[in-house]
């Protein structure tokens, strides 16, 4: 298979392989930003709460709900600070710089960021 579908399939496999490896290593993985693009990506890839424990969002209208389809809980940012996950997926990858600057405090406990698109990257 070549072309766009092959690229999408490879990205899906890379995402799942990374998240499964981190899970096996005992890492806690959370997300930040309950954006529709993330919900679509998570559903397509089969990412569920066993791989991403929760997603934080600043919008009160999203908190205490779930990402549609994948049932990952949406929590306030304070939860991120309390749990101190090892990795935080920046769900709206198009504003990764803004969010990584906003959440730079996760580095204080050794946390790292992950973006899933356009390729899986841990930084």
Give the pLDDT confidence score for residue 1 in this predicted structure: 55
Share of the chain above pLDDT 70, in %: 98
Q: How far apart are CA 19 and CA 64, in angstroms?
A: 24
Under the banding of pLDDT at 50, 70 and 90, the label for residue 6 is very high
Does pTM top 0.85 for this prediction?
A: yes
Average pLDDT of the segment spanning 95-106 = 97
Angle between helices 4-24 and 36-45 (to 10 degrees): 80
Domains of the chain as residue ranges with CATH: 4-122 (3.40.50.720)
Q: pLDDT-derived band of residue 59, with 50, 70 and 90 as boundaries?
A: very high
């Amino acid at each position: 298979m070549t072309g766009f579908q092959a690229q999408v399939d490879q990205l899906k496999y890379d995402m799942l392989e990374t998240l499964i490896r981190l899970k096996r290593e005992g890492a806690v993985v959370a997300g930040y930003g309950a954006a529709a693009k993330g919900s679509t990506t998570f559903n397509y890839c089969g990412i569920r709460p066993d791989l991403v424990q929760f997603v934080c969002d600043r919008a009160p209208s999203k908190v205490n709900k779930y990402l549609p389809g994948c049932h990952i809980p949406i929590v306030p940012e304070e939860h991120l600070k309390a749990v101190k996950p090892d990795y935080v997926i920046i769900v709206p990858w198009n504003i990764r710089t803004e969010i990584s600057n906003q959440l730079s405090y996760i580095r204080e406990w050794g946390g790292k960021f992950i973006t899933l698109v356009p390729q899986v990257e841990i930084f």
